[in-house]
Amino acid sequence: MQQYGFESVNSNTNTAKKFAIPGKKVDVTYMLKKLEERGLISTEERKHLERDVRNRNQIVDKISDLKGPGLALNAAYKMRDGVLLPNGILTLTDDPRKVQRLSQLTANEVKIIETAEGSDMGIGQVGMLATTVSISKEQGIISGELGLKDFSMLKSWFEHNGKPGTTELIESQQMLKRLYDELSDRSREI
């Protein structure tokens, strides 16, 4: 797995600090397969793109020409410019700290979060739940694997930070229900 280095400069000492970002660039085949799996392009569109796209740098222009603005174009941009972490999350590398946080999540946690959010982090759909869990792990609030033991804390966080009556809060409550169901099912399997 390739690692990409990034520098951040400390303004007080004017010294550079290097970050190693674990991950790999994805190829055109991965990109088109994921876009088709998510229903963002059809099989015919995938075949057309396989003929036309010669390298990863062309993907954004070709998807833009084919689909215009939207989720497919956003995913293509992230696939072109981001890296695929070992846990299956595709993310941009402009924020090394965020990348380090997201890389703490296990592949199992990624699947749980994707189920709860109804997302696919393999095309860069990293939502608030993934961010909250990764920050909570970094701060030691969640220790070990995400489990049912952590649900109350996550529920409280989303309820405290949501605005009553908003669509966002309603969607958060639905996401939390799916998260609880998924964690509950997995705890029974153990």
| pLDDT tens for each residue of 104-139 | 999 999 999 999 988 888 888 888 889 899 999 999
pLDDT at 112: 93
Q: 16: helix, coil or strand? A: strand
pLDDT at 18: 56
pLDDT at 21: 67
- Range of the structural domain that residue 160 is part of: 148-189
pLDDT at 36: 94
What confidence tens digit (pLDDT) does each residue in 96-110 have?
A: 888 999 999 999 999
pLDDT at 7: 41
Identify whether 10 is part of a domain.
Answer: no
pTM listed for this prediction = 0.78
Residue that finishes a domain, picked among 97, 120, 138:
138
C-alpha distance from residue 3 to each of 15, 23, 53, 66, 121 (Å): 22, 6, 25, 32, 19
The total number of structural domains that make up the chain: 2
Identify whether 31 is part of a domain.
Answer: yes
pLDDT at 124: 86
Cβ atoms of 129 and 117 within 8 Å: the answer is yes
- Sites in the chain below the pLDDT cut of 50: 1-16
In this structure, are 56 and 96 located in the same domain?
yes
Helix axes 128-138, 167-189, angle to 10 degrees: 60
Residue that finishes a domain, picked among 96, 111, 138:
138
* In the chain, alpha helices (H): 28-37, 43-52, 59-67, 71-81, 96-103, 107-117, 128-138, 151-161, 167-189
DSSP state at residue 24: B
Return the structure tokens found at 39. Answer: 């229903």
